[in-house]
Structure 1
């Protein structure tokens, strides 16, 4: 992943870590890393996080692994990423505030039209 992707990955990790009430030390313990590595993730200084660490982080943060893997630039075999990771992978040049606008727009559409966020597991995604 490039520097911009690394920073977006870091913002995503920090946002979700704080949302679940974990400290950097707590997340580090859950992932099996030292605290300084988590801090470096969150600061966007790591451009190639290890996939197994990403998977453990996703579990600790309560987010889909596919989201973190997509943000980290890894190809994913199945499952769809969330909107923000998808936007960052597909439209790398969009600034974070533009992605925020897209997320906000989609949230308004979901609220207006019933809030369904996509096919259920096993449903056709076409």
Structure 2
């Protein structure tokens, strides 16, 4: 893991912990991870194991996929394209609201020259 990835991961964990009003000691207590390890993670001095990240994510309500992405453990080809992600992530929204989000993203992608094409609705969701 590169230092820039460690820094992104550290920032995400630290920012989320502080927003939750939690100290490092409290995070350590709730996760069962040593306080010194929490400090080293938040100071971007240490690359935690996947299991440790999952435990921290559970306590801080950060999806493991977000932690792995911050750590650059997910390759681009392992991530879903945006439209199917939105349909899956926001499946409880009304269909017209999901479509509005997709259309907005497509407009932004077009403006910046990003190819937002992906599988057709239903092709990749479970």
TM-score range, shorter chain: 0.5 to 0.7
Q: List, as ranges, runs of 4+ consecutive aligned residues in structure 1 with deviation greater than 3 Å.
A: 121-126
Q: Verify the 8 A CA contact 1:58 1:68 in the aligned structure 2.
A: yes
Residue of structure 2 aligned with 1:119, choices 53, 69, 87: 87
| Root-mean-square deviation (Å) | 2.8
Offset, 1:70: 1.7
How many residues align structurally? Answer: 89
Offset, 1:79: 7.0
Q: 1:73 to 1:25 in 2, by over 3 A?
A: same
1:6 aligns with 2:17: no
Aligned position for 1:64: 63
Q: Distance in 1 between matches of 2:48 and 2:23?
A: 19
Structure with greater Cα Rg: 2
Q: Distance in 2 between matches of 1:13 and 1:28?
A: 12
Q: Distance in 2 between matches of 1:125 and 1:29?
A: 39
Aligned position for 2:73: 74
Q: Distance in 2 between matches of 1:61 and 1:49?
A: 16
* Alignment gaps of 5+ in structure 1: 81-116
Aligned position for 2:118: none
